[in-house]
Each structure stands twice: as C-alpha cells, then as structure tokens.
C-alpha cells in the first residue's frame, strides 16, 4: 500500500504531527502532463471545485491549464492567481443575471448554457459572448451521474444555439459531462455519438462550431468500491475512445475544431491524502446479538471525506505491523450516522489506540471544497503541499 502512496506524500504524512490534507504538487503536475500526452491538442480547463487550493491551481496554471469556473467567486480566485480571463470559462449552466454580469465584468467571455432562458440572460448581461450548449447524458456507469440537473436534448441544443445566434451571441460549441468517476469507456462512446449527431444537425442550420468540450468525469485510480475492492477504470481505453472520437468530430466539422476537457478529480484525487488519527476502536454488541467493531477516526464526511458513502479510501496505519486484525466499520467523529464509510467491514489492526495516526489515501479531490465550517465543532482541516521532496506549509484551508 505504501508503494501506491509515493515517497513524497508518505514522508509529508509521516512528518505531520496533527491532522491535515497534504497535496503532492509534483504528482498533480505529472498527472496533467500525462493527460495532455494521452490527448494531444486538448485544452485542459481544470474544474476548480474539485480542489480550490491556490497552490494546486497555480501548479496547474503554470503548466498551461485554464479553469472551469462555476461562480464569480471561483473566477476571482483564478484571476487573483494571475490566470488570464481568456483561459477561464463559466462552465455552470445555472447562473443568475447578477452572476453573468459579474463574470462579464471580470472579463470572462465563454459561457455554458442549456436553455433559451439562460441564453437570453447571457445575451442581456454578457452581450456578444460565446456560448456552448451542454447535452444531457445518461450518467450511466458513473459513481455520480449528473443526468437530470444539467444539459438538454439534441433537438433542444439546436434550438438553444439558434436562439443564441439570433441574440447576437456566438454559438461556439457543445459540451457533455458523462458523470463523475465514470467507470466505462462506453459512456464516452455514447457521448461522442450524441455530439456528432448534434453537430450535423447544427451544420444543417448553418451553425459551425469552433470547439467541443468533453467535460469532466475522468476517473481517479486509487479508490476502493463499497465492497473494499479496488476500482479499476479502463483509463487507457477511455483515452483511445476519446482520440478516435476527436478524429471523427474533426472530419464532420466544416471548420477547424478545438477540444476542451474539464477534469476535476482525475488530476488531483490520487495526489492528495489526509493525515488523520484514531479516536477509538470499539466493540459493541448490537440488539440482535451481533458483535461489531467500529473504528472512529478524527476525519469523516464533514471534514474531508464527503464522498465516503459512495466509495472507500485506502487507509494506512503507520507503525502497525501487527498480525492481528479485526473487521470494523470505519466512521468519522461527528454525531451523524451518515458519517461512516460505505464499506461494511474492513480489516484494521486490533492494537489501534486513541491518537494513532491514520493516512487516508486518494483524498485529494473534493476534500477541501466539501469541508463543512466545523460541523459539531470539528474544524476544517488545514492543508500543506509538498513538491519534489520539499514540504511547505500552506494557508489554512
Ligand atoms: C464538477 C464538474 C467537472 C469535474 O468533474 P469531475 O468528475 O471531477 O472530473 C467538470 N465540468 C463541470 C461542468 C462540472 O460541474
């Protein structure tokens, strides 16, 4: 397990004497490099919500990444870090008039949309902007399908982009999001078919796009499923399907076509880990007579592990080389019964005692952003970053 973890993260976790989230910037950087090698020519706009940590954003921006922002506040954060406005798009289809006007004032000129109502608002508050229309996908095959709240049908997309043209906007592109932690390459194949069909229907209306946005959804590799088995998404096959799809879409289009991608968790999840500690390992008999072990940790759903009810994180118990293990339910410290790992029983060292450090792996995505303000008095975890073997304290999260 420590081998999976990497030397930089392991030494930073070992050096931490209190709870924190550690990000390995060198790891994030090489993950970005790998992605652009696999999908040559793709413009990466990191989905900020997955890790709105200045040092991580700067590390990506330094390599050329832009940002997918979902609110004026995210746009401001990116601008504050020196990212030019033309490398930021407003990727949220849900926005108020005031949000649109503020984003426009901040210099953002490209907006996601999926309805004629939103198009009218963009035309009024960001006149002349570029819009791209999000197509609804089934979300099948993803741990979190994003199917109902966002996106429209192919017919609607033609209506929406036609309305955009009539309102003086530039109908610039189409987008999809196949669902977060997408586990199948078929979902990408399906999305590519939807994009191709819609592009053809748009061409018939004289609308020629300049880009297609594949959204997020690329998986992290280090998670366990709800049964404690390692999730093994077919990432290489996904990249192959995407490369093939890019060729097809390029051939269909009547003009050069650019490709954008908005990865979130894929770039950061496996390069962040949490140093937490043991509260207590208990043994209780349930009303039905069953004897159950519970391992309570200092960190759970409300302070770093928001996604713990859908997936499991690998745990490392440094210093425990015991050969006695018990099967336990692992849970966070709060008075909320949702604050527990999905996995029913996992083997943990029997000798664990209060205060022992625990490392929670693949916790780099959505950890800081989904952290509560201090539910039950459990304060948000601070973070630190490490790079090329050099540790450095970061600002409090
Ligand atoms: C959340 C989000 C992403 C990132 O999703 P991941 O599954 O983390 O890759 C990308 N694009 C949009 C529009 C999003 O809302």
Count the domains in the chain: 2
Range 241-260 average pLDDT: 96
Model confidence at 148: pLDDT above 80? yes
Query: Does residue 4 surpass a pLDDT of 80?
Result: no
**Domain contains 244:** yes
- Are residue 50 and residue 152 in the same domain, yes or no? yes
What's the gap between Cα 206 and its chain centre?
35
Residue 50 CA to residue 71 CA, distance in Å, equals 14
pTM above 0.85, yes or no: yes
Domain assignment of residue 137, yes or no: yes
Q: Are strands 130-134 and 170-175 parallel, antiparallel or unpaired?
A: parallel
Q: Are residues 259 and 293 in the same domain?
A: no
215, 237, 269 — which closes off a domain?
269
Would you list the DSSP string of 311-355?
A: -B--EE-TT---S-EEEEEEE-SSS-TT-B-SSS-EEEETT--TT
The answer to whether residue 3 sits within a structural domain is: no
- Helices 25-38 & 7-15 angle (0-180, nearest 10): 160
The answer on 289 and 247 residing in a single domain is no
Query: 138 and 178: one domain?
Result: yes
Residue 144 belongs to what domain range? Answer: 25-269
CATH number of the domain that residue 356 is part of: 2.40.37.10
Q: pLDDT tens digits, residue range 291-333? A: 999 999 999 999 999 999 888 999 999 999 878 999 999 999 9
Which of 44, 47, 218, 231 best tests ligand 1's pocket when mutated (most atoms within 8 Å of CB)? 47
Pair 219, 279 in one domain: no
Whether 237 and 346 share a structural domain: no
For the stretch 230-234, contacts whose Cβ atoms lie closer than 8 Å and that sit 24 or more positions apart, written own/partner, are: 231/181, 231/183, 231/311, 233/181, 233/182, 233/183, 233/184, 234/184, 234/185
Among protein residues, the one with the nearest Cα to ligand 1's atom 5 is 216
Q: Residue 216 Cα, ligand 1 centroid: separation in angstroms?
A: 4
Residues 205 and 339 in one domain: no
Of 251, 269, 287, the one marking the end of a domain is: 269
Residue 169's closest CA among 90, 108, 110, 96? 110
Same domain, residue pair 59 and 194 = yes
- What is the pLDDT, as a whole number, of residue 390? 55
143 DSSP 8-state letter = E
Last residue of a domain, one of 209, 244, 269: 269
Helices and strands (H and E) in the chain: how many: 11, 19
Q: Which atom of ligand 1 is nearest to the CA of 91?
A: 13
Tell me if 397 CB under 6 Å of ligand 1.
no
Q: Is residue 303 exposed (0-12), middle (13-18) or buried (19+ Cβ within 10 Å)?
A: buried
Whether residue 101 has pLDDT greater than 90: yes
- The atom of ligand 1 lying closest to the CA of 180 is 7
Q: For 336-365, what is each residue's pLDDT tens digit? A: 989 998 777 889 999 999 999 999 999 999
Same domain, 241 and 377: no
- Domain match, 260 and 276 both: no
Nearest to 378 by CA among 274, 225, 223: 274
Say yes or no: 150 and 290 in one domain: no
Q: What is the tens place of the pLDDT at every residue in 200-211?
A: 999 999 999 999
């Amino acid at each position: 397990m420590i081998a999976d973890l990497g030397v930089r993260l392991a030494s930073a976790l070992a050096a931490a004497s209190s709870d924190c989230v550690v990000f390995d910037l060198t790891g994030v950087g090489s993950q970005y490099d790998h992605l652009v090698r696999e999908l040559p020519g793709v413009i990466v706009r990191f989905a900020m919500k997955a890790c709105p940590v200045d040092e991580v954003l700067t590390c990506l921006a330094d390599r050329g990444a832009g940002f997918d922002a979902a609110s004026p506040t995210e746009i401001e954060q990116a601008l504050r870090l020196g990212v030019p406005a033309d490398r930021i798009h407003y990727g949220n289809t849900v926005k108020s008039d005031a949000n649109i006007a503020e984003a426009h004032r901040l210099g953002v000129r490209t907006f996601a949309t999926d309805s004629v109502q939103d198009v009218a608002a963009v035309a009024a508050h960001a006149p002349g902007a570029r819009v791209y229309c999000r197509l609804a996908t089934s979300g099948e095959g993803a741990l979190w399908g994003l199917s109902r709240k966002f996106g429209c049908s192919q017919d609607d997309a033609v209506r929406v982009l036609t309305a955009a043209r009539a309102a003086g906007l530039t109908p610039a592109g189409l987008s999809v999001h196949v669902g977060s932690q997408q586990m199948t390459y078929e979902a990408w194949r399906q999305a590519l078919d939807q994009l191709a069909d819609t592009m053809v229907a748009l061409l018939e209306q004289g609308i020629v796009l300049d880009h297609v946005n594949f959204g997020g959804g690329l998986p992290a590799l280090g998670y366990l499923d709800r049964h404690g088995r390692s999730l093994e998404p077919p990432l290489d096959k996904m990249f192959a399907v995407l490369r093939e799809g890019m060729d097809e879409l390029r051939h269909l289009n009547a003009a050069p076509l650019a490709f954008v991608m908005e990865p979130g968790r894929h770039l950061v999840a496996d390069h962040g880990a949490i140093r937490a500690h043991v509260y207590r390992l208990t043994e209780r008999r349930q009303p039905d007579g069953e004897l159950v072990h519970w391992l309570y940790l200092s960190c759970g759903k409300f302070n770093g592990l928001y996604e713990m009810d859908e997936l499991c994180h690998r745990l490392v118990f440094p210093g425990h080389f015991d050969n006695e293990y018990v099967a336990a339910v692992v849970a966070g410290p709060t008075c909320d019964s949702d604050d527990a790992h999905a996995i029913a029983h996992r083997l943990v060292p029997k000798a664990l005692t209060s205060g022992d450090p625990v490392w929670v792996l693949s916790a780099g995505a959505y950890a800081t952003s989904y952290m509560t303000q201090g539910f039950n008095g459990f304060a948000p975890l601070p973070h630190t970053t490490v790079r090329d073997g050099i540790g450095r304290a970061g600002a409090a999260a």
